[in-house]
Chain A
Amino acid sequence: MLERPDEPSLLEALAKFLIADLHPTVKDKKLAFRVLIASNIATTLATQLRGQQERRGAEQERLRALLGRSGGTVQELNAALAAKLRAGGLSADEMDRIADCLKQSLQESLAVVNPSFDTSLEIE
């Protein structure tokens, strides 16, 4: 019974209310800044919810392939990968493959929390 409006639409409405209606009326600078933060959290949550399943599925697939496993949740796989890195003794090749996998997942998270984040290697 709660399908429409869906969660991302509600979060976007909340974000819009905070930024367009509430923010201009708040005189206190510290509070006004928190209204901006609140609006930004709602916006990024809407984006996050829209792509959540696909993103999580893709991360899980990548981690399973990297670790050569057929099962495991994203959380479990990340814990296994963290332990492997901590133990050390990995070849340069393995390190590169792990780094590529992690950068892919981080890029997908960045697309949610900060879509304008520039990932170019050209930045000094």
Chain B
Amino acid sequence: MAETQRTGEALAGAVEALLSERAGAQVKVRELQPLFGGACQDNYRVELTFSGGELAGDRRMVLRSDANQSLPGSVRRKDEFEVIGAAVAAGVRTPRARWLSEGLVRPGAGAYFLDWAEGEALGRRVVKHPDLAAARETLPEALAAELAKIHTVTRAGTPGISLGREYPPGKSPSAAALAFARLMADQMKEPHPAVELALRWLSDHVPAGEEETLVHGDFRVGNFLVTPSGLSAVLDWEFARFGDPMEDVAWLCLRDWRFGQLQLPAGGLARRERFYDAYARASGRAVDPRKVHWWEVMGNLRWGVGSVMQGERYLSGEESDLELIAIARRAVEMEYEALRLIEKGA
């Protein structure tokens, strides 16, 4: 497939042609550099010059295109573009997405441009780096405020969004998440009794009174851009879906996303109470610790099974990145954490 992918000057030329048509100005590409991508998308940093219009002058943007494959539960760029539009409309601090197109980087692949945002994303640095100490003081409240805004987006209020593969209407968020986890667990090539135990416990302890809103789906340290003055942007909407808002709260607190700061469950940044209170103030929705506990067990189960599947992508010959096969060795951490949380209780 790689040979059908546009690169270098061919891609720059295609970008100039597309944007000159869509942006209402002549557009020159000064530079185009591949960025570290995710598994499901190709990212580029693009330096652009607009001859006129609202963007006149030099602009730095990110070009994001579908890669050859997608991960289970991840959305394609077209869906992502719609979700970002809804999030921006809800006031979420996330870079605006522009100019959705198809076939720009590779045939059939959706692509769009994101305004550039500055900041540090790497988890270890966000929770530890001395330059970000002052920012860390403000992050719990800032993140709670952004999450509350995300959770104002509802399916009924955004008929334009075609999301919903994982959470089809009519199924409760927990029932849909259980069905999805079952599907993923069945793809593992070895028996994992700890995964079965967690699934059994989850089925037997489904929380009552679920809500449904837009959920980011990967709301965690590592997907936030942070500068010394605070939160700059929330990124990476590829796992967005409609679900229970407590799912995002739980995912932020997942052990693996604390980057070593175990004593600060909310993202390695704050104690739970501080984040829960900030979220409740911002959203008007009380945090139910039992629901968060259920979704945290679910989150560990998902990430545990997900890491096994990362290794399978290497073992199948589809990918050759050493990191993937190494991640699979870490599945036992998430399996243990799921059992530890079950034993500990809400």
Contacts and interface: CB of A to CB of B under 8 A. Distances in A.
B71 interface: no
B191 A75 contact: yes
B284 to A, nearest CB: 25
A37 B262 contact: no
A110 B330 CA distance: 9
Interface in B323-346: 323, 326, 329-330, 332-333, 335-336, 339-340, 342-344
Instruction: Give chain A's interface residue range (CB within 8 Å of chain B).
Output: 20 to 34
Q: What secondary structure prevails in chain B residues at the interface with A?
A: helix
B254 to A, nearest CB: 12
Contacts of A107: 336
B265 interface: yes
B196 interface: yes
A113 interface: yes
Contacts of A118: 262
B193 A123 contact: no
A107 B122 CA distance: 28
B340 A119 contact: yes
Interface in A72-98: 75, 78-79, 81-82, 85-86, 88, 90, 95, 98
A56 interface: no
Contacts of B340: 103, 119, 121, 123
Contacts of B194: 102, 106
Contacts of A99: 197, 339, 342-343
A75 B326 CA distance: 21
Contacts of B326: 37, 40-41
Given A85-B197, A99-B197, A113-B329, A121 B343 contact: yes
B262 A123 contact: yes
B192 interface: yes
A114 interface: yes
A117 B196 contact: no
Given A79-B191, A98-B193, A121-B344, A106 B332 contact: yes
Q: What secondary structure prevails in chain A residues at the interface with B?
A: helix
Nearest to B203: A88
A75 B190 contact: yes
A109 interface: yes
B265 A78 contact: no
Contact of B333 (A86, A103, A114, A123): A114
A66 to B, nearest CB: 10
A87 B51 CA distance: 66
Interface string B303-335: 000000000000000000111001001101101
Given A37-B322, A117-B333, A103 B339 contact: yes
Contact of B193 (A41, A78, A117, A119): A78
19 contacts: A37-B322, A40-B326, A41-B329, A75-B190, A75-B191, A78-B191, A82-B192, A85-B193, A85-B197, A86-B196, A86-B200, A88-B200, A95-B201, A99-B197, A103-B339, A106-B336, A113-B330, A121-B343, A124-B263
Pairs of residues from A and B, 4 with the lowest C-beta to C-beta distance, nearest first: A85-B196, A79-B191, A82-B191, A81-B193
Given A85-B199, A114-B333, 16 more contacts: A34-B321, A38-B322, A78-B192, A81-B191, A82-B192, A82-B196, A98-B193, A99-B339, A102-B194, A102-B197, A106-B336, A107-B336, A109-B332, A114-B330, A117-B336, A123-B262
